[in-house]
């Protein structure tokens, strides 16, 4: 080895050692000390968490909103085919099979009540075609959730969930157009 190669090797080793030492120095200089995590956890419990609420199914009936009134009279009733975890646990959909673990929602009837303010979207309807029984329905919204660490001991999942806020109902045409 020549002197040039040796000095480059030594310089590379020193540089690599410095790069490894920098993260350790930064980690040691973090402020907060003991109890820093507890204060952060308490602060995160002040604001409620919201989870997505999604239910899919087949349309049973739909009542349109009367645009001449301020209140919403629109209702949508569907036979549930599937629902996400928040929707199953919310208590809005009855358990269809108590023998199985968890909430079995397939086959239940779910109604988006009048008075809920949501956007109704109609997809794949042509001309004078209107929603009919059997069309695919998707209900989307948000549900307030109290975090497990923020709730009192012994609180069930259903008790930690708040009221659902339906934001969007989409009805997609499934039958052939006339």
Mean pLDDT, rounded, of the chain: 82
Least confident of 44-48, 59-63, 148-152, 153-157: 44-48
* Mean pLDDT computed over 163-177: 87
Residues 30-61: tens digit of each pLDDT: 555 555 555 566 677 887 789 999 999 999 99
Phi, psi (5° rounding) for residue 56? -115, 145
Q: Output the pTM of the full model.
A: 0.70
* Mean pLDDT computed over 1-10: 69
Structure tokens at 144: 């307030």
As a residue count, the chain comes to 178
Domain boundaries, the chain: 3-42, 48-172
Q: What is the gyration radius of the CA atoms in the chain, in angstroms?
A: 28
d(CA 177, CA 75): 24
pLDDT exceeds 80 at position 15: no
* Mean pLDDT computed over 111-117: 83
Name the residue among 83, 93, 97, 74 with its Cα closest to residue 51. Answer: 83
Q: What is the pLDDT of residue 112?
A: 92
List, as one string, the DSSP characters of the chain. --HHHHHHHHHHHHHHHHHHHHHHHHHHT-S--TTHHHHHHHHHTTSPEEEEEEEEEEEEEEE---TTSSS---EEEEEEEEE-HHHHHTSSS--S-TTSSS---TT-EEEE-TT---EEEEES--TT----TT-EEEEEEEEEE--TTTSPTT--HHHHEEEEEEEEEEEE--SPP-
Q: What is the pLDDT of residue 31?
A: 56
d(CA 39, CA 128): 59
Least confident of 29-43, 56-70, 117-131, 148-162: 29-43
**Is 79 buried (19+), middle (13-18) or exposed (0-12) by CB count in 10 A?**
middle
* Mean pLDDT computed over 135-156: 90
pLDDT-derived band at 98 (thresholds 50, 70, 90) equals confident
pLDDT exceeds 80 at position 10: no
């Amino acid at each position: 080895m020549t002197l040039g190669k040796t000095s480059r090797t030594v310089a590379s080793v020193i540089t690599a050692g410095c790069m490894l030492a920098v993260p350790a120095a930064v980690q040691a200089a973090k402020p907060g000390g003991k109890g820093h995590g507890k204060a952060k956890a308490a602060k995160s419990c002040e604001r409620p968490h919201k989870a997505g609420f999604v239910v899919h199914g087949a349309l049973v009936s739909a009542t349109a909103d009367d645009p001449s009134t301020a209140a919403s009279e629109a209702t949508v009733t569907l036979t549930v085919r599937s629902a996400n975890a928040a929707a199953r646990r919310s208590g809005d959909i009855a358990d269809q099979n108590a023998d199985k673990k968890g909430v079995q929602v397939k086959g239940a009837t779910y109604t988006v009540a009048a008075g809920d303010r949501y956007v109704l979207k109609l997809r794949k309807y042509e001309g004078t075609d209107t929603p009919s029984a059997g069309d695919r329905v998707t209900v989307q919204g948000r549900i307030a959730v109290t975090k497990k660490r923020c709730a009192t001991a012994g609180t069930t999942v259903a008790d930690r969930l708040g009221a659902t806020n339906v934001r969007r109902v989409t009805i997609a045409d499934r039958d052939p157009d006339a």
